[in-house]
Structure 1
Amino acid sequence: MTAIAQNTPRLRPGGDHVESWFIRANDPHSPRAVWIKATVLTSRDGTALAQAWCSVFDGRRTKAWCLDIPLDTARFEANTLGQDIEAGPLAITLTTRGGDTAGALSDDTSSISWDFAFTRAEVGGAPLSLLPGDRLLGMRFPSNKLVTPFPVASVAGHLEWDGERWDLGGWHGMQGHNWGSEHSPEYAWGHCVFTDTGDETPFAVLEAASGRTRVGGRVSPLVSMLVIRRGEQEYRFDRVLDLWRQEPHLDFPHWTLRMRGRDGSAVLRMSAAPEQMVCLAYRNPARATSYCLNSKTAAVSAHVTPINGNAFELRSAHGGALEFLLPQPVPAVSPIV
């Protein structure tokens, strides 16, 4: 499935639906990152709004903003070249080769503005889905779908946070899209671009998730998926219902995932400092609000033992995106946005 197809809006007015497009950019040299997201939220009770989100991290400080916008004043349009998204002061353009975003958000204490573009990287940059095949994207299971049209991207542009200007040239990023009738009841999600220590060129990427979904009114056990791309090789651990070959442990702020599959075995470890995270209140169309404990500067390590080939390690001190979605906030991560 192409990047354009993966980014196509799934909104159907009149029903319970939540959908987001998000972009992340990380400095390969320091624990600085920015995360942009546009969200659509509708429900059968008539709720219809869009949201503009921004979170920024610099290793010491974190800050997040969210602005609600009436849906009828927002724009989520698809065309032959890609998608045009406008949610209040947030604009995102997505094409087959990349995209750009610009915007500004503020509150009583802080403000941010940004303007940057991203292009698909040669290594690992083809569209990615954790689910085994595109067919599941059109089914009711799981209740929330995730695709990554741009798993690895090169970034250029700038942001300004309370008068401090960051040059984003040479940063690396990704772009994702998710949708469904509700947020998953619980999940951990992670993504990381690994770069060479010399010239900071991306050479590998991983994405993983462990989450619960609703099946027939009941909440499922944790179901996990993991995809690793290293050079020209891809290692997939995506047999969603193969629970006896998955060992997820969600112990905030740590996540460990052991996977076995047709490509071998892998152990993923991710963790983040709570004081360097943000807590985001994620509304659900017909259920209670969930809370996303969000880091874009997490530590990541992965040990991979392929069926054919030598074992290898991937490590990043501060390049990981790590999210936990829980039914209640965690006091160590505040304030709630």
Structure 2
Amino acid sequence: MTAIAQNAPRLRAGADHVESWFVRANDPRSPRAVWIKATVLTSSDGTALAQAWCSVFDGRRTHAWCADIPLDAARFETHSIGQDIAVGPLTLSLTGRGGTTGGTLSDAAQTVAWDLSFSTVAGLGEPMSLLPTDRLLDAPVPSNKLVTPFPVLTCTGWLELQSERWDLTGWHGMQGHNWGREHSPEYAWGQCVFTDARDGEPFAVVEAASGRTRLAGRASPLLSMLVIRRGDEEFRFDRIVDLWRQRPRLEFPAWTLRMRGRHGTAELRMHAEPEQMVCLAYRNPARATSYCLNSKTAAVRVHVAPINGNAFELRSPHGGALEFLVPHPVASVSPIV
């Protein structure tokens, strides 16, 4: 499936539906990152809302902003060369090879503004899905779908935080899209672009998730998926209902995932310091609000032992996106946005 097809809106007016498009950019040489997201929420009772999000991470300094916009004042359009999204002060344009985003968000404490362009990296950056087949994107299970139209991006542009200006040229990141009837009851999700220590260029990427879905009104066991790309190799661990071959441990602020599959074995370890995270209130159309404990500067280690080939390890001290979705806030991550 192409990036344009993966990013196509799945909006369903008059039904319970949550959908987001998001972009992340990381400085390969320091623990700085920016995360931008456009969300739409509709409910079967006729209510509808769009949200513009931005979170900034700079070592131990983090801040997040959210603006609520009536859905009829927002724009989610698809056309032959991509998508155009506008949610209040946030714009996001997506094509088959990258895109742009810009905007300004303010709260009582700070203002953030950005103008970011991004383009895919050949090979590593081709569209990715954790699901084993695209047919599951239209199936009732899992109840929340995730695709990654651009797993590896290279960036240019700038971000202004108060009087400070960041040059985003040479930063790397990703762009994702998710949708469903509601947020998953619980999940951990992670993604990391690994860059060469000498020249800062991407050479590998990992994405993984462990989450629950609703089956007959009840939360399922944790179901996990993991995909690693290194150079022109791809290692997939995507038999999501094969619980014998997956060992997820969600122990906030750490997540460990061990997987076995047709490509061998893999172990993912991610960890973030709570004071370097933000807590985001994620509304559900017909259920209680969930809380996303969100880091974009997590430490990552991946060990892969292929069936055919030598074992290898990937590490990043601060390049990982790590999220936990939980039913209640955690005191060590504050404030709630």
TM-score after normalising by structure 1: 1.00
Q: What does residue range 95-110 of structure 1 map to in structure 2 within 5 Å?
A: 95-110=95-110
Q: Distance in 1 between matches of 2:166 and 2:123?
A: 26
Aligned to 2:220: 220
Aligned to 1:182: 182
Aligned to 1:274: 274
1:19 Cα shift? 0.1
Paired amino acid for 2:187: Y
1:47 Cα shift? 1.5
Q: Distance in 2 between matches of 1:328 and 1:236?
A: 32
CA-atom RMSD, angstroms? 0.4
Q: Distance in 1 between matches of 2:266 and 2:284?
A: 33
Aligned to 2:253: 253
Aligned to 1:240: 240
| Count of residue correspondences | 337
Aligned to 2:206: 206
Contact 1:123 1:202 in 2 (8 A): no
Aligned to 2:32: 32
1:46 Cα shift? 1.8
1:45 Cα shift? 1.5
CA offsets, 1:157-214, max 9 Å, x none?
0000011000000000100000000000000000000011110110000000000000
Q: Distance in 2 between matches of 1:217 and 1:279?
A: 27
Contact 1:130 1:147 in 2 (8 A): yes
Paired amino acid for 2:75: R
Contact 1:123 1:203 in 2 (8 A): no
Show structure 1 runs of 4+ deviating over 3 A. Answer: none
Paired amino acid for 1:71: L
Aligned to 1:147: 147
Paired amino acid for 1:82: G
Q: Distance in 1 between matches of 2:294 and 2:15?
A: 28
Aligned to 1:12: 12
Q: What does residue range 296-307 of structure 1 map to in structure 2 within 5 Å?
A: 296-307=296-307
Contact 1:123 1:152 in 2 (8 A): no
1:82 Cα shift? 0.2
Aligned to 1:157: 157
Q: Distance in 1 between matches of 2:67 and 2:249?
A: 33
1:123 Cα shift? 3.8
Q: What does residue range 74-153 of structure 1 map to in structure 2 within 5 Å?
A: 74-153=74-153
Paired amino acid for 1:209: A
Q: Distance in 2 between matches of 1:272 and 1:43?
A: 34
Query: Would you say 1:58 and 2:54 are equivalent positions?
Result: no
Paired amino acid for 1:97: R
TM-score after normalising by structure 2: 1.00
3-state secondary structure, aligned to 1:135? helix
3-state secondary structure, aligned to 1:28? coil
Contact 1:123 1:204 in 2 (8 A): no
Paired amino acid for 1:225: M
1:60 Cα shift? 1.9
Paired amino acid for 2:125: G
Q: Distance in 1 between matches of 2:123 and 2:74?
A: 34
Q: Distance in 2 between matches of 1:12 and 1:259?
A: 35
Paired amino acid for 1:89: P
1:215 Cα shift? 0.8
Contact 1:17 1:43 in 2 (8 A): yes
Contact 1:93 1:100 in 2 (8 A): yes
3-state secondary structure, aligned to 1:132? coil
Q: What does residue range 257-336 of structure 1 map to in structure 2 within 5 Å?
A: 257-336=257-336
CA offsets, 1:128-172, max 9 Å, x none?
000001000010100000000000000000000011000000000
3-state secondary structure, aligned to 2:148? strand
Aligned to 2:172: 172
Q: Distance in 1 between matches of 2:170 and 2:218?
A: 46
Overall identity of the aligned pairs, in %:
75
3-state secondary structure, aligned to 1:124? coil
Q: Distance in 1 between matches of 2:329 and 2:81?
A: 40
Contact 1:268 1:303 in 2 (8 A): yes
Q: Distance in 2 between matches of 1:278 and 1:44?
A: 30
Paired amino acid for 1:219: A
Structure 1's unaligned 5+ residue stretches are none
Comparing 266-275 with 40-49, which one deviates more in the overlay?
40-49
Q: Distance in 2 between matches of 1:280 and 1:329?
A: 9
